[in-house]
Structure 1
Amino acid sequence: MSFLNVKPGPSYGALDTDEQIMDREDQRLLYSAFAEEEQEQEDHGYDTDGNLSVPEEDEVQEGVRKIEAISRTWTQRALVVAYLSIFLMAFCTSLEGQTVSSLSAYATSSFSKHSLISTVLVVQNVVNAVIKPPMAKVADVFGRFEAFCVSIIIYILGYIQMAASTNVQTYASAQIFYSAGSTGLQILQQVFIADSSDLLNRAMFALLPELPFLGTVWIGPMIADAVLRHSSWRWGYGMWAIILPAAFLPLGLTLLLNQRKARRLNLIKPRQWKRSSWLDTLRNTWYDLDMFGLILLSSAVALILIPLTLAANAKDGWKNNNIVAMIVVGIFCLILLPGWETSKKLAPKPLLSLHLLKQRTVLAGCGLAFFYFMAFYFSVQPYLYSYLQVVQNFDVSSAGRVTQTFAFTSTIAAFCASILIKYTRRYRPYVTAGCVIYIGGLLSMLLYRTEGSSPAQILATQIIVGTGGGLLNVPVQLGVQASANHQEVAAATAMFLTSLEMGGAVGAAISGAVWTHSIPKKLRLYLPPESQKDAAEIYGKLTKALSYPMGSPTRLAINRAYQETMNNLLGLAIIAVIPLIPLSLLMKNYNLDKVSNCMAAPSRHLPLIEEAESRNEGKSDRSPSRTRARARSDSDRGHLRTE
């Protein structure tokens, strides 16, 4: 496909702009150079197994056209600024996550009602699961810069609303905005990294948003403490509405300035639908964003997962007709979704690129993400923290450190894996090794995370599971991206991350249902007669459970109820990870240096562009002969890549 609207021949007027930024000799050289580059991209549009295809011109959406045009104007300096901004945003979002987690108890305690909070957490999981595909779609339809701006605005609205909330309902709705904005930033950061890095380096760059966690996990609680001592929890939320946009500014300016440069060079064509009527614009946007597909996906996830939690807490449970009806409608939407998304007439530009699932690497990668994160929510989240305090008698800080060990260890393991991938040019061995270690870690948790185990044994189990998770996550995402051409990299990344969040949402819903069903039942069974009247309070309040001394009959009964329930959850986790090793072996072991779906690396023809612009502004005295020599020199050097 051609990004310059010209054809070879004696006339080059199609490249001329109103400012006449290039003379005809420059036009001939630039056309020849870009034609060579485009042919090179088409030649590499297929992977080593011949599965990748280059999309037709009319199949490439506007946002993808923009980033492919902007790729012609990237410089190494601009990419460095962009990646520094990515790191700054990741540092801010990581730091605020660690900070506000310590503020939420103070925020909710200032309201008179707390009953909606548990349901809001489930809704947040649903938002996390469904927001990634539409945000990737916005990036493909309108552009990366525009999608980043949308996410930042939603993020800011969420924090302003939380800071100004006066009741639990406002606070709860603000959490949904916050979740949508933060999850949108997560997918867009990964899409930008996929746009601007080759596959050998992508595993390392994909880890960039996770690296700040190594420091912020220790800094965040200190900031929260300082905010509470010197200000209020409201400022602890509101300050991020100022800090995050400032961190995004370098990346936003870099994308915007390079987009303007691409327009000056006529590399970005005018958007045709702008000249249409508002009705045509609305219809085109509806199809471009696949709004009905988004409605089906959101309805299916919400109406299936939320009732799992509601049924566990409702008095009549599954006998409630409303809960059953919600699940039936959710299943109907889930069945209808594939038919809608695969229909060229109903969804010409589908939200989910389900045809990618015909490739076994994508299908296996999404399955791996789903079962891996489901097992994580059975084994580590969300009840490990309470278990450590009650059964193991850890204090608050010790329990917090052990709980964070998984994320800390997995980040380090993923970084080591990304370096190995760069030099071995393969990713699948680390996926399989990660599956084996992850399963081994879960088995060790079942054996050694028991009452009476030493802190060293419990910490070791978390380190093993974290190491396995780190070897799994980033390499699997890399394999999924390697199976897609550049038009579908954003969609493939969204499908992987959506599968990850869906697994987490399903795991959280099931573990919540098991916990709320099992703990009260076991407490009534094991508590001594004198404590039976306090069973509901012991279940509902962690402080009440901790008030009984270790070794007392009541505490022994509480510990037994917690331990047996955690063992049940670990059993579900081990069942969930059974498919991991077979799925890892189904993924194709690509030779990554022979697969290319990156478009936004610095262009080797950038010196020609800059020279032509400079001559137009009267700032260059280079002769055509020197320009030709420069073109040959750049062609000999080969295509620059970010290393």
Structure 2
Amino acid sequence: MENDTNSNKIGWMALILVALSSFIIALDSTFMNVAITNLVVDLHTTVSAIQIIITVYALTMASLMLLGGKMQDVVGRKNAFLIGAAIYGVGTTVAALSINATMLLIGWSILEGVGAALMTPATASIITGTYTGKNRAFAIGIWTAVASVGAAVGPLIGGFLTTFFSWRWGFGLELVIVIFVLALSHRIKYFAPTMKLSDIDKFSVLLSSFGIFIFVLGILSLNAPKDWIFSVMMMVVGIILLIIFYLREKKIISRNEIPFTDIRLFKDRNFTLGSLTRLIMQLALAGAVFVLPVFLQQVTGSDAFTTGLAILPLTIGLLVFALASSRLSNKISPHYLISIGFLIALAGSFFLSFQFNLNTHISDIIPGTLLLGIGLGLALPITGNIVLSSADDDKQSDASGILSTSVNLGSSLGTAIIGIVLILGIVNGIYTAVDHTFPNEFSKDQISQNLTQYSEKMQTTNITGLKSNETSIAYKLVNITVNHAMKTTFDFVTVIFFIGFLISLFIRPLKEKNVKKKITD
């Protein structure tokens, strides 16, 4: 960071503004999860439609994030950030005024998604361009922590506003923050453009965007088991497009031309593993924050605000330990902290896998959610510093674009995959429950037909009345199903954390002065 007082003021204000921007973008991915019932009723739509809208928001960001990162080089980091903020502001206004699901999709998922795709990479590169040394590490830690807390505190804020006011106030809150950011944007340092729009390889843009979009769309369509073959085909097509994209970038680099994304960054082990571990953590966080409100509202009968309070231990654990991670990294090597974080989060998800049934109380899940928050809080900020510190200053736009893509791809996949795992758990659970209670009386086709009708309304129908008669057949059926579905879901999350832990073991220690190797062919 520059040494003069004015530059210091600009630098810290820049951190505040970009951190607030990251906060509302992350908040957007989770704060409506607890308001699904209200959205279904107010907009006259279905649970499936709302889940698609929630996921498309993350999908839009993920598919356009590389382009958003590159636009920093074309219009400058600050300008890319401000253009994104303006688009985001329009989107959140449309979302707040939505009268149907289509309007919410356009305002929230599309416009806000596009705005966020421009803003997010710029927030990272503005920080790396404004700060140096320990100040940069601290700023990256705060920026990551605030964004992570935004995702974790989303259910609480969304629950409070939905219960006592309206879910529309959530988008209104975001608009206020956008206006605040734009009003004080003169405090952000200006960064000159380094390339022209004509220098961007348009075919690479299409390959990367459609590759990510089609791949994740294939994941989403797995919600309909009868279309699994088609889903797998879409995922394969997406992967093929991304492979072609990689080969094209490699060819462009070999001709000493400007690549859309400098894939040579992946030659750095810490950059690659840091990005991958960040994706895994976002996947697990998004999945947990999606499935917990489903259980709390459907099974325990909690309202939106109570649901948010129930997830508060996760938020507190994440915030406290995210802020503490920078100090802890002075005593414990950062790459070890990531591994420790994964293990603690793993312990939390393992504990939660045994906690769910029709008699579960909010107090039963507090230890597990707290451990999840602590583990993620330790690891998330450090991964951001590892990734961005692995890239030279002239590669920060590419590095921030790739990091942002991995974060939002993880969030998108988390919501989609956990939703699929939950449905599979329900299917297997109901098969087990019916077969145990009524052996050989119902076929799987009969069960599946009724299950489909149930899952379509599972967040607009309350089953807490079953608790009045625990000896009834209905109680036994639903209890076995709920237990099996939630255990399957958190067993999956546990496995994801274990994979992340194994990957984290191969991250190298950060060099004290962030010495970066020049990336060459």
Matched, 1:549 2:458: no
**C-alpha displacement at 1:459, in angstroms?**
0.6
Hey, what's the Cα distance between the residues in 1 that align with 2:204 and 2:210? Answer: 10
Q: Residue 507 of structure 1 aligns with which residue? A: 414
**C-alpha displacement at 1:163, in angstroms?**
4.0
Matches within 5 A, 1:481-496: 481-496=388-403
Hey, what's the Cα distance between the residues in 1 that align with 2:252 and 2:158? Answer: 48
Matched, 1:285 2:194: no
Which one of 320, 333, 340 corresponds to residue 241 of structure 2? 333
Q: Residue 581 of structure 1 aligns with which residue? A: 501
**Unpaired segments ≥5 residues, structure 1:** 1-67, 260-267, 274-283, 598-643
Measured on the aligned residues, the alpha-carbon RMSD in Å equals 3.8
Q: Residue 124 of structure 1 aligns with which residue? A: 57
Matches within 5 A, 1:448-597: 448=355, 455-520=362-427, 522-523=429-430, 526=433, 535-539=451-455, 540-550=457-467, 551=470, 552-593=472-513, 595=515
Residues 535 and 513 of structure 1: is their aligned pair in 2 closer, same or farther, counting only changes over 3 Å?
A: closer
Hey, what's the Cα distance between the residues in 1 that align with 2:90 and 2:99? Answer: 16
Hey, what's the Cα distance between the residues in 1 that align with 2:450 and 2:499? Answer: 42
Contact 1:365–1:583 (8 Å) recurs in 2: no
Bigger shift: 84-93 or 543-552?
A: 84-93
Contact 2:387–2:403 (8 Å) recurs in 1: yes
Residue identity opposite 2:260 in structure 1:
L
**C-alpha displacement at 1:520, in angstroms?**
4.3
Residues 596 and 199 of structure 1: is their aligned pair in 2 closer, same or farther, counting only changes over 3 Å?
A: farther
Output one character per residue of 1:137-175: Cα deviation in whole Å (capped at 9) or x when no partner. Answer: 111332122111221122022123324544322321222
**C-alpha displacement at 1:82, in angstroms?**
2.8
Which one of 116, 131, 138 corresponds to residue 204 of structure 1? 138
Hey, what's the Cα distance between the residues in 2 that align with 1:178 and 1:206? Answer: 23
* Larger Rg over CA atoms: 1
Matches within 5 A, 1:292-307: 292-307=203-218
Bigger shift: 468-477 or 511-520?
A: 511-520
Contact 2:207–2:245 (8 Å) recurs in 1: yes
Aligned residues: 497
Hey, what's the Cα distance between the residues in 2 that align with 1:187 and 1:472? Answer: 20
**C-alpha displacement at 1:106, in angstroms?**
4.5
**C-alpha displacement at 1:208, in angstroms?**
3.4
Contact 2:274–2:384 (8 Å) recurs in 1: yes
Residue identity opposite 1:193 in structure 2:
I
**C-alpha displacement at 1:467, in angstroms?**
0.9
Q: Residue 258 of structure 2 aligns with which residue? A: 349
Contact 2:346–2:497 (8 Å) recurs in 1: yes
**C-alpha displacement at 1:495, in angstroms?**
1.9
Output one character per residue of 1:465-511: Cα deviation in whole Å (capped at 9) or x when no partner. Answer: 21111111111111122211111123223323322332333333332
Contact 2:357–2:480 (8 Å) recurs in 1: no
Question: What secondary structure does 1:342 align onto?
Answer: helix
Matches within 5 A, 1:121-520: 121-175=54-108, 176-209=110-143, 210-211=145-146, 213=150, 221-223=159-161, 227-228=165-166, 237=171, 240-241=174-175, 243-250=177-184, 252-255=185-188, 284-288=196-200, 290-313=201-224, 316-318=226-228, 323=231, 325-344=233-252, 348-378=257-287, 380-391=288-299, 396-421=304-329, 423-424=330-331, 426-448=333-355, 455-520=362-427
Contact 2:82–2:119 (8 Å) recurs in 1: no
Contact 2:211–2:242 (8 Å) recurs in 1: yes
Residues 272 and 479 of structure 1: is their aligned pair in 2 closer, same or farther, counting only changes over 3 Å?
A: closer
Residues 329 and 112 of structure 1: is their aligned pair in 2 closer, same or farther, counting only changes over 3 Å?
A: same
Q: Residue 85 of structure 1 aligns with which residue? A: 17
Contact 1:437–1:464 (8 Å) recurs in 2: yes
TM-score of the two chains, using structure 2 as the length reference: 0.81
Residue identity opposite 2:202 in structure 1:
M
Contact 1:86–1:248 (8 Å) recurs in 2: no
Matched, 1:76 2:8: yes
**C-alpha displacement at 1:219, in angstroms?**
5.7
Output one character per residue of 1:172-212: Cα deviation in whole Å (capped at 9) or x when no partner. Answer: 12222112323543332222222222342334323434447
Residues 350 and 72 of structure 1: is their aligned pair in 2 closer, same or farther, counting only changes over 3 Å?
A: farther
Hey, what's the Cα distance between the residues in 2 that align with 1:95 and 1:365? Answer: 23
Hey, what's the Cα distance between the residues in 1 that align with 2:277 and 2:222? Answer: 28
Residue identity opposite 1:441 in structure 2:
G
Contact 2:355–2:364 (8 Å) recurs in 1: yes
Hey, what's the Cα distance between the residues in 1 that align with 2:154 and 2:426? Answer: 34
Residue identity opposite 1:492 in structure 2:
A
Residue identity opposite 1:153 in structure 2:
A
Question: What secondary structure does 1:579 align onto?
Answer: helix
Matches within 5 A, 1:596-607: none
Residues 72 and 344 of structure 1: is their aligned pair in 2 closer, same or farther, counting only changes over 3 Å?
A: farther
Contact 2:158–2:304 (8 Å) recurs in 1: no
**C-alpha displacement at 1:579, in angstroms?**
3.3
Hey, what's the Cα distance between the residues in 2 that align with 1:412 and 1:591? Answer: 26
**C-alpha displacement at 1:410, in angstroms?**
1.2
TM-score of the two chains, using structure 1 as the length reference: 0.67
Contact 1:99–1:223 (8 Å) recurs in 2: no
Q: Equivalent pairs: percent with the same residue?
A: 19
Q: Residue 11 of structure 1 aligns with which residue? A: none
Residues 457 and 147 of structure 1: is their aligned pair in 2 closer, same or farther, counting only changes over 3 Å?
A: same
Question: What secondary structure does 1:549 align onto?
Answer: helix
